[in-house]
Amino acid sequence: MSHRHVIELTDVHAGGDISRIVTGGVGTIPGTNVRAQMEYLRDRADGLRRLLLEEPHGRPDMSVDLIVPAADPDAQAGYVIMEVMGYPVYSGSNTICTATALLETGRVAKREGRQQFVLESPAGAVDIAAEIRNDVVESITCEGLPSYVETPDARVTVPGVGTVHYSVVYSGGFYAVVDAEALGFDLVPAERDPLAETAHAIVTAIRADSAPRHYRLGDVGPLPFVHFAGPVSQIGGGRYRARSATYVHPGVICRSTTGTGTSARLALMHRDGHLTPGDVLETVSIGGSVFSGCLTGVTYEAERALVANTISGRGYVTARSQLVFDPDDPLIAPNMRNLPRAPDTP
């Protein structure tokens, strides 16, 4: 088997979305920090992402998180996020899954009760709080990126759908947030395919009409996400709940509501006067899984309200495995070029 490449994985799901955590079999990635390592993979070694997300080894509704050394001295580990559309700088569900995997595999030692540590994402340091009871990781709370409304109350004509009202929100990627009810959706499992088709049409129309830019980072790529926002109900003092669904271009309705989707909704609800610091929004996916977003503070920069937030959820380990890649396999051979390989890979 010396010519074959073996990669070690721990699969974890959060809210139904599976993240494949790569814990071994990948060599050193050039780069002085996690962001630079992400850029190297994106620009020069994208085969790793494709190997793990495409047939015959993967599927596009998964994500991949590669554990790498952290440059931040306070961080326990770094992680590069890979998804079907590319390399997000941040993801709440991927962070929940990565933190869970590090704890459950012993790469970060568990401590009973509330345990805090830091991970380094491509977007920078992320504070993590894990709740551990009887040696079980019961929840992960992670920082979301500061979110803000870039374009409020826009509209676009979408072929086959009509006029769609939306707001563009940045929360680690740009989201078009739309009213699910106005588009005729109840956000139930039977609507998964129509939701994906409608979202694809919306993304295509918005991309043809405009190209949002981050006020500080500039061009961060075309808008990839749609967040379907269901009606909000109050479930307690400062606590709210809403059904939600997130579309990931191309073609995937996430099983969870996603962390960045929840962060985007917090920013929009704050702008509309519905949330203040300390308030919590529970987003419920079409499959019934829940993420909790807490609005922790608001600052102002470049005439924008930046909403600080945390996202809470639970990760479940679903598999620990080895994937074997044979360069003689014609389905995967093109993706094995420039693949970083650990020296001790069998």
Q: Beta strands of the chain (E only): which ranges?
A: 5-14, 17-24, 63-68, 77-82, 113-121, 124-133, 136-158, 162-170, 174-179, 225-236, 239-248, 252-253, 280-284, 290-301, 304-313, 315-325
How many other C-beta atoms are found inside a 10 Å radius of the C-beta of residue 163?
Answer: 8
pLDDT at position 338, please? Answer: 73
Joined together, the tokens standing for residue 98 give 């990565």
Between the two ends of the chain, the Cα-to-Cα distance in Å is 7
Q: What's the confidence (pLDDT) of residue 346?
A: 44
Per-residue pLDDT of the chain (346 residues; tens, 9 = 90+): 456 889 999 999 999 999 999 999 999 999 999 999 999 999 999 999 999 999 899 988 899 999 999 999 999 999 999 998 899 999 999 999 999 999 999 999 999 999 999 999 999 999 999 999 999 999 999 999 999 999 999 999 999 999 999 999 999 999 999 999 999 999 999 999 999 999 999 999 999 988 899 998 888 888 999 999 999 999 999 999 999 999 997 889 999 999 999 999 999 999 999 999 999 999 999 999 999 999 999 999 999 999 999 999 999 999 999 999 888 888 888 888 777 877 654 4
CB atoms within 10 A of CB 262: 31
Cα–Cα distance measured from residue 120 to residue 100, given in angstroms and rounded to the nearest whole number: 15
Task: Please give the Cα distance from 62 to 54 (Å, whole number).
Answer: 9
Instruction: Say what the pLDDT of residue 344 is.
Output: 52
φ and ψ at 326, to 5 degrees? -105, 120
Catalytic residue list contains 91? yes
- Residue 252 to residue 137: CA distance in whole angstroms: 28
Q: Do 291 and 312 meet the contact criterion of CB atoms below 8 Å apart? A: yes
pTM: 0.94
Burial 56-74 (b: 16+ CB within 10 A, else e): ebbeebbbbbbbbebbbee
Query: Helix or strand or coil: residue 60?
Result: coil
Whole-angstrom distance, CA of residue 111 vs CA of residue 98: 17
pLDDT of residue 334: 85
Q: Are strands 225-236 and 174-179 parallel, antiparallel or unpaired?
A: parallel
Q: Is 254 within 8 Å of 63 (Cβ atoms)?
A: no
Tally of CA atoms within 13 A in the half-sphere of 142 that contains its CB: 31
For residue 20, the cross-strand partners are: 11, 64
- The catalytic position among 91, 167, 256, 312 is 91
Packed helices 259-271 and 92-104: angle between N→C axes, nearest 10 degrees: 140
